[in-house]
Structure 1
Amino acid sequence: MTLPSPEEQPLDQRPLHVRIAADLRDDILNGELGPGAKLPSTTHLKARFDASSATVQKALGLLKDERLVIGRAGSAVIVREHRQRTIRPADSLSAGASADAPYPWLTDAAGHGAHAVSRLLEVRETVPPADVALAMCLEPDDRALLRHQLLRIDGEPAELVRSYYPLDIARGTALAEARRIKGGTPTLLAGLGFPPRLSVDRVSARIPTQEEHRSLGLNSDLPVLRTLRTVFSDDRRPVEATVMVKAGHLYELRYEFAPD
């Protein structure tokens, strides 16, 4: 099979300001333009992209809406300090040191100088989405307990979290109560006799739903990262399935592997 030459590749049909924002976004996210760095001047960007001042400003407006840069028209545009945060999924599986220990992700955020809080939106029994039901080995009409939260970092919406639990585990426990759980659910599940033994993540990039777009304060059509995490206890029993949604351009997932 012969691959097409660069001249034969289809042209990027996106509007020019979208293409300019895409190239600058890549410079920001790969570290070429680090936190606190000034973006090139409008004059430089006009020459680089063969664009008008209005088109360049429209591109910079996209990056501002995406919370990657700050600045006003006529002044320097600066890369924000926390342009992209690193999430280590393995950290959330371990139980806290005690029932009074803070959530692991709160501790991690504080360690990086950020202020993180969670808001519990609802707790109820419901039929979970099909992929969640499959992960939990539930029948199509079986119900599970839902705990729905919105996480904020430094006052900005960061992640929507929907966690589902088997009713025979959750009923009559703190999971079913409309309040935060001290030490997090790994600690509680371990205390109930279901210690987390294995976590399996399925991560995909998707265009946000209307609710996700609104709740996460998104101002562009960039994809979100959707993680479906299934937590297994002894005998590989699924005890928790969580759907986590966050802005794809503001977060990266870090997984570490060791050779067998």
Structure 2
Amino acid sequence: MQLGAIDRADDRPPYRQIADHLRAAIDRGDLAAGDKLPSEAVLIEHYGVARMTVRQAVQELRNEGRVVAEHGRGTFVRQPVQVRRLASERFARRHREAGLAAFSVEAQKTGFTPNVDQLEVSTGPATPEIRDRLRLGDGEEVVVRSRRYLADGQPVETAVSYLPASVAAGSRIVEADTGPGGIYARLEDMGFELDHFTEEVSARMPSAEERRRLQLTDGVPVVVLVRTAYDTTGRPLEVCDTLKAAPAYVLEYEVPAR
């Protein structure tokens, strides 16, 4: 593996040059997912720098989610799963009729193995924001479905869905397994015809608990996407608050030019 050398005439500090060399080795495939980075001792000798400089370089890659440190073993390449989120067609009715929820559709397109864990279902009062989004009156309750999504065993997203209890109570939506096609298929089974969705996308740094659930290193941001589902009468039926590991996702949108 070619790592190059420090260019003292370069404006970039040495630690950043080392990080660039390691990043380039990963991009070229010289260091593949699961491979161990050269040890601190090897990098110190190769570059002729202090231990802190090497640690700063490796921390850069950790902050990007490129590598992960394992206590007592070293630092390993962690190539992020690239989930291509097909926003323009992921909720198409034909997928629900085929028994596929949106994440499963993306798994078929992208080629990863999907899974869901940390699933919790409860019923209780809505926060003021969720109450406003669902146009609920004071005291109306919501069914809350919280879960974590994994791609090839790696956590990539958490999602919490809120539905009016008056809509979801007594249906499979309050069960752990909602059945083929997921929540939206069950809503349509109940006679609600979905018409459109709105999505709000933003980005921020995660909390400590969010980092833990998504297994993120310090410095890695998350994408926040809040979706509202409406039926043909304009009634909001669900609000889904999702948190995505930014390095794991490509958000794809198709926008008509008319």
TM-score (norm 1): 0.73
Secondary structure at 1:235 match in 2:
coil
What is the aligned partner in structure 2 of residue 85 from structure 1?
83
What is the aligned partner in structure 2 of residue 36 from structure 1?
29
Change (3 A) 1:59 1:95: farther
Instruction: String of CA shifts for 1:41-100, please: whole Å, max 9, x gaps.
Output: 969x969xxx7564244332442475424799xx998683x5543312233322354666
CA contact (8 A) 2:201 2:224 kept: yes
CA contact (8 A) 2:84 2:106 kept: no
Question: CA shift at 1:180, angstroms?
Answer: 3.7
What is the aligned partner in structure 2 of residue 228 from structure 1?
226
Instruction: String of CA shifts for 1:109-154, please: whole Å, max 9, x gaps.
Output: 2432311111252111123343322211124643211111110111
Where in structure 2 are there 5+ consecutive unaligned residues?
Answer: 1-12, 33-37
Partners of 1:35 and 1:174 in 2: how far apart? Answer: 48
Matched to 1:136, the amino acid is L
What is the aligned partner in structure 2 of residue 258 from structure 1?
256
Matched to 2:124, the amino acid is T
Aligned with residue 163 of structure 2, among 165, 170, 177:
165
Matched to 2:148, the amino acid is L
Change (3 A) 1:46 1:142: farther
Q: Identify the range of structure 1 (153-162 vs 53-62) with the bigger mean alpha-carbon deviation.
A: 53-62
Where in structure 1 are there 5+ consecutive unaligned residues?
Answer: 1-14
Question: CA shift at 1:239, angstroms?
Answer: 0.7
Matched to 2:206, the amino acid is P
CA contact (8 A) 1:205 1:225 kept: yes
Partners of 2:158 and 2:81 in 1: how far apart? Answer: 19
Matched to 2:241, the amino acid is V
What is the aligned partner in structure 1 of residue 10 from structure 2?
none
What is the aligned partner in structure 2 of residue 201 from structure 1?
199
Question: CA shift at 1:213, angstroms?
Answer: 1.5
Find out whether 1:135 has 2:133 as its counterpart: yes
Q: Identify the range of structure 1 (183-192 vs 52-61) with the bigger mean alpha-carbon deviation.
A: 52-61
Question: CA shift at 1:179, angstroms?
Answer: 2.0
Query: Could you say which structure has the higher strand fraction?
Result: 2
Matched to 1:95, the amino acid is R
Question: CA shift at 1:182, angstroms?
Answer: 1.5
Partners of 1:225 and 1:161 in 2: how far apart? Answer: 12
CA contact (8 A) 1:120 1:179 kept: no
Number of positions where the alignment pairs a residue of Structure 1 with one of Structure 2: 233
What is the aligned partner in structure 1 of residue 247 from structure 2?
249
Find out whether 1:184 has 2:210 as its counterpart: no
- What is the Cα-based RMSD across aligned positions, in Å? 3.7
Partners of 2:225 and 2:88 in 1: how far apart? Answer: 13
For residues 35-54 of structure 1, the aligned pairs below 5 Å read: 36=29, 52=50, 54=52
